[in-house]
Amino acid sequence: MLASSVHYFSAAEFVDEALDRLIPAADVEPKRLHEAMRWSTFAGGKRFRPMLVFASGKLFGIKIPRLLNTAAAVEMMHTFSLIHDDLPAMDNDELRRGKPTCHIKFDEATAILAGDGLQTLAFKAISDDELLDASMRLRLVSELAAATGTPTGMVAGQQLDIEAEGREVDDMGLEAIHRAKTGALIRFSAIAGAIIGSADEAEFAAIERFADRLGLLFQITDDVLDATKSSEVLGKTAGKDAAMAKATYVSIHGVEEGKRIAEQTFNDARDAIASLGSRADDLVEIARMTLLRSS
């Protein structure tokens, strides 16, 4: 457990170094744009998705250097989505990870362009990654695009989420929103290591099932935290879901049942990769950290 924590800590540092290498420096023109991209990228994110790329790659014996651009790419894509989701026209959030959001710190035009530029850089980081062969890079670009865009990815999920505000949404509708909005990029992070590791069909299918459950678990625990924790602990505006009349697992099932569904979903995730044995321990650990997270 300790060794595992040390491993994760050092991996996060690798990711930060890669992001620093991939995003233009703050003294390169247009400086304000690059400052904004860096502001949001280095705002204290947990690097959850990069950790997932590392853990799934490790399962196939892949070392960090060959996973690094992909891990940084998925973090840039995630950051792009946060910047745009926080905009006044979307969720209108002024606080993220305890700091002013990008459009508050800079301005709306710069925030829109910072998000746009991070999406572009994510694709560039993978296409330029000379440690991976061409067909592997192409598959990663294509899968990342499917996880990011529409109709199956993050952009579609955000649209569905906005449209659902103030409307009745059932369990099925909620799962469809989150599968696209957060699930797709989590799935990509988990399968990226399998792609780079040349997983066989059975291994790939097991990791896909795991990733599907992990994405759901992530969202349920997010909803429970929003309903139960203070803004200070979360580093973002708490209680926002209820205030915006958003459908969540908590609004549909209540906090206690939400926690029970989370436990069950963790078990399902763990069972999905049981066939991979101890090689998948890091993935199970990530799912457990997700279940037990407090922010």
Tell me which residues touch a second copy (CB under 8 A). Answer: 24, 28-30, 32-34, 37, 80, 84, 87, 89-90, 107-110, 112-113, 115-117, 119-121, 123-124, 127-128, 134-135, 137-138, 141-142, 145-146, 148-151, 153, 155-156, 158-160, 162-163
d(CA 199, CA 68): 18
Pick between residue 185 and residue 283 the one whose CB is nearest to a second copy: 185
Residue of 88, 113, 89 lying closest to 101 (CA atoms): 88
Q: To the nearest 5 percent, what fractions of the chain are helix, strand and coil?
A: 75, 0, 25
Pick between residue 74 and residue 280 the one whose CB is nearest to a second copy: 74
Between the CA of residue 282 and those of 8, 95, 107, what are the distances in Å?
A: 10, 31, 40
How far from chain centre, in Å, is Cα 40? Answer: 14
Least distance between a second copy and beta carbon 171 (Å)? 17
Least distance between a second copy and beta carbon 230 (Å)? 28
Pick between residue 30 and residue 44 the one whose CB is nearest to a second copy: 30
d(CA 240, CA 217): 20
Pick between residue 76 and residue 272 the one whose CB is nearest to a second copy: 76
Using DSSP's 3-state secondary structure scheme, residue 95 falls into strand
Least distance between a second copy and beta carbon 153 (Å)? 7
Least distance between a second copy and beta carbon 272 (Å)? 27
Pick between residue 98 and residue 149 the one whose CB is nearest to a second copy: 149
Least distance between a second copy and beta carbon 62 (Å)? 20
Using DSSP's 3-state secondary structure scheme, residue 147 falls into helix
